[in-house]
Amino acid sequence: MSTGQPVVAILMGSDSDWETVANAAETLKKFGVPFEVRVCSAHRTPDAAADFAKGAAARGLKVIIAAAGSAAHLGGVLAAHTTLPVIGVPMKGGALDGLDALLATVQMPAGIPVATVALGKAGAVNAALLAVQILALGDAGLQAKFAAHKATLAKKVEEANQRLQAEVKKITQ
């Protein structure tokens, strides 16, 4: 992505989610994907959430990442008001330590899809990576960056396996 115009929006229900959600922003930055970040609550600012979603495509956004905890309705509210892909990141915490957020995010009714990733940091990173994959469908340069990322992951696993095999060899000799 070469322009500074945001193509991904990262919304969170509370600024207390930023510590985790920052991982999505950092991941998008590594890939050179322009993004914007804001706090928007499905319950405390429902009109603002609906307005944001309704105007997102016209502003040039292509993917929305929605992080929320507890009832975690933000992803669903946004998805109800846009045709853009919405990726939900359930946040850890609360009475059920994130299980309530996970279930609320993943259990959307037919016709209102919200792609749901893992809880916590892994979920924030994976939401950004899924956004990159979606954007890469129409961007060969981004597709090449993502392929290089996957190759780096595979290389790290192979290196870890080689270290492990050296340790095992010491034990078995």
Q: Residue-wise pLDDT tens for the chain (173 aa)?
A: 445 899 999 999 999 999 999 999 999 999 999 999 999 999 999 999 999 999 999 999 999 999 999 888 999 999 999 999 999 999 998 889 999 999 999 999 999 999 999 999 999 999 999 999 999 999 999 999 999 999 999 999 999 999 999 999 999 98
**Tokens (6 digits) for 19:** 């510590």
Please tell me the predicted confidence (pLDDT) of residue 94: 84
pLDDT value, residue 134: 98
In this structure, what are the phi and psi dihedrals at residue 154, rounded to the nearest 5 degrees? -65, -40
Strands, E assignment, the chain? 8-12, 35-39, 63-68, 86-90, 115-116
Q: Domain coordinates of the chain in residue numbers?
A: 8-138, 141-173
pLDDT digits (tens, 9 = 90+) for 49-64: 999 999 999 999 999 9
Q: What is the pLDDT of residue 2?
A: 46
Architecture in CATH for domain 8-138: 3-Layer(aba) Sandwich (3.40)
Region at 120 (left for phi over 0; alpha for psi -120 to 50; beta for the rest): left
pLDDT of residue 137: 97
**What is the DSSP annotation of 45-85?**
SHHHHHHHHHHHTTTT--EEEEEE-TT--HHHHHHHT-SS-
Instruction: Summarize pLDDT for 160-173 with one digit per residue, the tens.
Output: 999 999 999 999 98
State the Cα–Cα distance between residues 128 and 30, nearest whole angstrom. Answer: 10
Task: Count Cβ atoms below 10 Å from residue 104 Cβ, excluding itself.
Answer: 23
